[in-house]
Structure 1
Amino acid sequence: MTALRRRVIVGTAVVSMALALAACGKAGDKKSDSAGSGKAIGILLPDTVTARYERFDRPLMEAKIKELCADCTVTYANATGDASKQAQQVNSMITRGVKVLILDAQDSVGVKSSVQAAVDKGIKVVAYDRLAQGPVSAYVSYDNEKVGELQGQALLDALGAKATPQSKIVMINGDDADPNAAQFKAGAHKVLDGKVDIAYEQSGQWKDTVANQKVTAAITSIGAKNIVGVYSANDTMAGGIATALKGAGLHVPLTGQDADLAAIERILAGSQSATVYKAYKPEADATAEIAVDLLQGKAVTSVADTTATSGSGQNVPAKLLTAVSVTTANIKDTVVKDGMYTIAQICTAEFAQACKANGLQ
């Protein structure tokens, strides 16, 4: 071998080694940044249609995590209602090196393989608000069957003497892919069955447009004059339903859930009877505490004081909070008192008269 050729080979090898070392350095830096020196927590929320997630859940969880773990990094993504997108986001979180993943599943059944993939990489998964299937380490939510009972009772209370076994109501449930929807539905049926006639029942898929279409179809099928009330599983759908009812000239009791600002205003204006207030801060705080405990290798039972069984049979440590029904009678003592909304935010010019009439000033 000639001296020139030897120099070329050696030179090429040196350059290759330098590039390889540089590449390793970049990969290491990226892993270190994304993993936050082993203190990375990921948050995946399901959609942007439901107002609570971006407005309350995300910022509350992020703030509590930072309070409990100043040097923790938080990575966030929203599935925007797309289960396949959320699966990709779980893979991205795995690649980024998160150690704990807070997951509010868009599809609690379909996400099972993604949960397993994360756990296989040593990631602890905390199911938030919805109990995802798969080997999750903990679950934080509200007692969802009790929520459904609150909704059903609120509808009966609003109906008063019109609540008879012959009185026809329309029931618009949540998305079948959400296990909470089945629990809300079960709780509501427990209260409503035998007390009223559920003449039309469909899923509104948590969408105002779908709920509007379903109630419009119900009005056509049953007849506007025959409907005495509507059960809506959440406030987003209640907004679409209220529009359909108004279009048909119907003014009947209507339930909801989530205490959305628009729902509080509809309650004051009389186009919605009640909502269910699930204080977001206790739920977000408990989830953040569990996530940090898992990150630090601590037991979660100081927060998760009960258990829940997922659809795939896992018995999961859980924290289940208690919700409250909201009507005109207790807006000030719930969402205003807790600082969720100010009087100024609720009582805009459009609702000023309704606020005054209900002592909300």
Structure 2
Amino acid sequence: MEMMKFSTQAAGAAVFVLSLLGGTSAFAQTAVSDATVAFLMPDQGSTRYEEHDHPGFVAEMKKLCASCKVLYQNADADIAKQQQQFNSAITQGAKVIVLDPVDSAAAASLVQLAQSQGVKVIAYDRPIPKGKADFYVSFDNKAIGKAIAESLVQHLKAQKVPTEGGILQINGSPTDAAAGLIKDGIHEGLASGGYKTLAEFDTPNWQPANAQQWAGGQITRFGKQIVGVVAANDGTGGGAIAAFKAAGVDPVPPVTGNDATIAALQLIIAGDQYNTISKPSEIVAAAAANVAVKLLAGETIKAEMTLYDTPAQLFVPAVVTAENLKAEIIDKKINTAEELCTGRYADGCKKLGITK
């Protein structure tokens, strides 16, 4: 499976995506005038949907089709609610629906329903394995899992942590196919690392509280045997960190993450989290907007790869640790020092050279 690397700041995402997808013709922009597009996100477990994905999609759609209407809904991790929102989008005249499914399996019937009525579906972030969407746009989730796991193992070895210890693995939601890909990547990244997996958990709805509760039980069970935690995203990683702190563990073993949320970046600055993944959601949001406009115009989209028999474009993001946080986040203008270096994080920012 060929994957395209991406290493520019979010501000350049639109230019890159236009180039990648062959641009949007004047004909396409005229043909889609006044069209309605729905952007349906899955949950509030991560702040990314409200802070990055939705604004990024709306901003790109305004560039491509100022007269187009964007319907936005978040399902709050409720399958039935997302189905209602999906049906409502069709009723309101949406001709393209960008869907990040709460339940990847259940979403297959939504794809079939839409396509039976001539409505195109773009699977977003999370794939829909049993429903052939018209396109799939995401970061490479398996590569993300592998990268955070390998990064953790390399860190443990660099610190000469004995391999007698083991790792906790906290996965995402069992109903999320993207979480399954991240999980597979984590397994692959840990396979040759030399550290055994003490226990593994699929976190219902990606909820940090669920991850914290489970991690707390494992801390009681394994104690000092735990030398690290591979968590599938920043929310579950933050839950694990909270569990260690509640148990009085100091220092907290290195914990991974994914999404580069402000909270996670601050935990890295403070030394409580080891890594995260920088994947500016505006990148995939811009790509989805470009695909939506092309589908509205009836254009054929050339994809370099397929996933689950669906034409797809996957972006490969960067692993962020304290060592490269300034270069990957601050210098690329993804977040500012003013956003991150508040209160108790000010000293950490000075140590990392983010501020003077």
Q: Identify the TM-score tier after normalising by the shorter chain.
A: 0.7 to 0.9
Is 1:354 aligned to 2:348, yes or no? Answer: yes
Number of the residue aligned with 2:10: none
Of 165, 183, 188, which residue of structure 2 is paired with 1:167? Answer: 165
SS of the residue corresponding to residue 99 of structure 1 reads strand
**Could you tell me which amino acid in structure 2 is paired with residue 308 of structure 1?**
L
The question of whether the paired residues in 1 share the 8 Å contact of 2:34 and 2:69 is answered with: no
Deviation at 1:193, TM superposition (A): 2.2
**CA contact under 8 A between 1:119 and 1:135: conserved in structure 2?**
no
Change (3 A) 1:142 1:37: closer
Does the CA-based 8 Å contact 1:38-1:99 persist in structure 2?
no
Q: Deviations over 1:244-300 (max 9, x none)?
A: 111223221100000010100000101100001112222111111000100111112
1:210 aligns with 2:210: yes
**CA deviation map 1:306-340 (0-9, x unaligned):** 2111xxxxx11101001110001111222223322
Matches of 1:353 and 1:89, distance apart in 2: 45
Within 2, Cα distance between the matches of 1:216 and 1:330?
Answer: 30
1:189 is paired with a residue of what secondary structure?
Answer: helix
How does 1:165-314 map onto structure 2 within 5 Å? Answer: 165-194=163-192, 195-205=194-204, 206-222=206-222, 224-250=223-249, 251-301=252-302, 304-309=303-308
Which has more radius of gyration?
1
Among 338, 341, 345, which residue is 2:335 paired with?
341
8 Å CA contact retained: 1:184, 1:233: yes
1:13 maps to what in 2?
Answer: none
CA distance in 2, matches of 1:294, 1:191: 37
Q: CA deviation at 1:162?
A: 4.5
Q: Is the 8 A contact 1:170 1:229 kept in 2?
A: yes
Report how far residue 349 of structure 1 moved. Answer: 2.1
Give ranges in structure 1 of 5+ residues lacking alignment: 1-35, 310-314
Measured in 1, the distance between the counterparts of 2:119 and 2:196 equals 48
Offset at residue 79 of structure 1 (A): 0.3
In 1, are the aligned partners of 2:326 and 2:352 still within 8 Å (CA)?
A: no
Match of 2:151 in 1: 154
Cα distance in 2 between the residues matched to 1:109 and 1:338: 37
Cα distance per residue 1:15-55 (max 9 Å; x no partner):
xxxxxxxxxxxxxxxxxxxxx97611111000122110000
Q: Any conservation in 2 of the 1:87–1:114 contact (CA below 8 Å)?
A: yes
Kept after mapping to 2: 8 A contact 1:233/1:255? yes
Tell me which residue corresponds to 1:56: 52
Deviation at 1:163, TM superposition (A): 5.0
Corresponding residue to 1:104 among 97, 100, 107: 100
SS at match of 1:81: coil
Alpha carbons 1:43, 1:77 under 8 Å: kept: yes
Deviates more, 1:349-358 or 1:163-172: 163-172
Give the alignment partner of residue 40 of structure 2, picking from 44, 49, 62.
Answer: 44
Query: Does residue 1:332 correspond to 2:314, yes or no?
Result: no
Question: Secondary structure in 1 aligned to 2:94?
Answer: coil
Q: How many Å apart are 1:188 and its aligned residue? A: 1.1
Offset of residue 177 of structure 1: 0.6
In structure 2, do the counterparts of structure 1 residues 147 and 163 end up closer, same or farther at CA, with 3 Å as the change threshold? farther
If the length of structure 1 is used for normalisation, what is the TM-score?
Answer: 0.85
Structure 2 unaligned residues grouped into runs of 5+: 1-31
Instruction: Give the letter aligned to residue 277 of structure 2.
Output: V
Find 2:85's aligned residue among 69, 89, 113.
89
**In structure 1, distance between residues paired with 2:43 and 2:136:** 19
Q: TM-score, normalised by structure 2?
A: 0.86
Larger RCO of the pair (alpha carbons < 8 Å, separation 6+)? 2
**Where has structure 1 moved over 4 Å in runs of 4 or more?**
161-165
